[in-house]
Structures are given as structure tokens and as C-alpha cells.
Amino acid sequence: MKRNDGFESKELPAEVQGTLPDVYVDDLLVTIKYFVDEEHAHLWIEDHEVCARCRHKPCLYFCPVNVYTLGHDGKIQVAYQACVECGSCRVGCPYSNIGWTLPRGGYGVAYKFG
Ligand code: SF4
Ligand code: SF4
């Protein structure tokens, strides 16, 4: 299926459909506790000029919590406060243009299990 952003999404093979569990990201997110470091961003764009030349801007799609958005000025905005530290942006940016560190000690997300 052709999407209007140029990417193609593929249907799962019939033998796989129905075998995967239903996962609702919003239900998982409410189990996370955030300790936001308002003084120190642990994610940043290295060079906005590189983003300007990045045709498909996959960061707008791969982050499960939409940390990356396109601002009115055409620049990628980084809402690092919402990050759940999945690590996808460390490998998802085709130009390695996202600076990434773990939050400082005492900050970040805490996952509850059970
Ligand atoms: S994928 Fe990387 S280079 Fe492309 S717009 Fe996003 S941060 Fe910039
Ligand atoms: S680590 Fe995961 S949740 Fe955090 S910004 Fe990157 S893709 Fe989004």
C-alpha cells in the first residue's frame, strides 16, 4: 500500500496475521512514571541543516511517543520529556544526526511491572 509520505506499508503475511498479540501503546504508557529533568535535555539534533536535507524524515514515524515533530519553522522539534528510552532513534536516523544519552541519574522513566 502506497502512503502519501512516500513510504510503502506492507500487509503482514496471512500466516502471521492473527498470531500477534494486540498491543495498545497508550495502555502501556500509563504504567510508566516520568522523572523529567527540565534543566538538561538528553536528546538533541546535531545539525538542523542535515535534517533539512533528509527527505523522508523517519524520526517523525519511528518514535513510539512522537518525541520528534516538525515545527512551524520547518525544523525538527525534540520533546525529550516524553522519551521512554526505547533507543530507536539511535539506529533509526539515517544520518546519525540525533544526539542521545541516558538521562542523568535520578531522572528518566521508571517501568512498573505486574
Ligand atoms: S531522521 Fe535524522 S536527519 Fe532525518 S529529519 Fe530526523 S533527525 Fe533529522
Ligand atoms: S529513545 Fe525511543 S522514545 Fe526516546 S526519543 Fe528515541 S525513539 Fe523516542
58-67 pLDDT, tens digit each:
999 999 999 9
Distance 78 CA to ligand 2 centre (A): 10
For domain 25-111, say whether CATH 3.20.20.70 is its number: no
3-25 pLDDT, tens digit each:
555 556 567 777 877 787 787 87
Q: What does the alpha-carbon distance between residue 57 and residue 111 come to, in Å, rounded to a whole number?
A: 29
**DSSP assigned state of 20:** S
CA of 76, closest atom in ligand 1: 5
Model pTM score: 0.80
Distance 85 CA to ligand 1 centre (A): 18
- The domain spans of the chain are 25-111
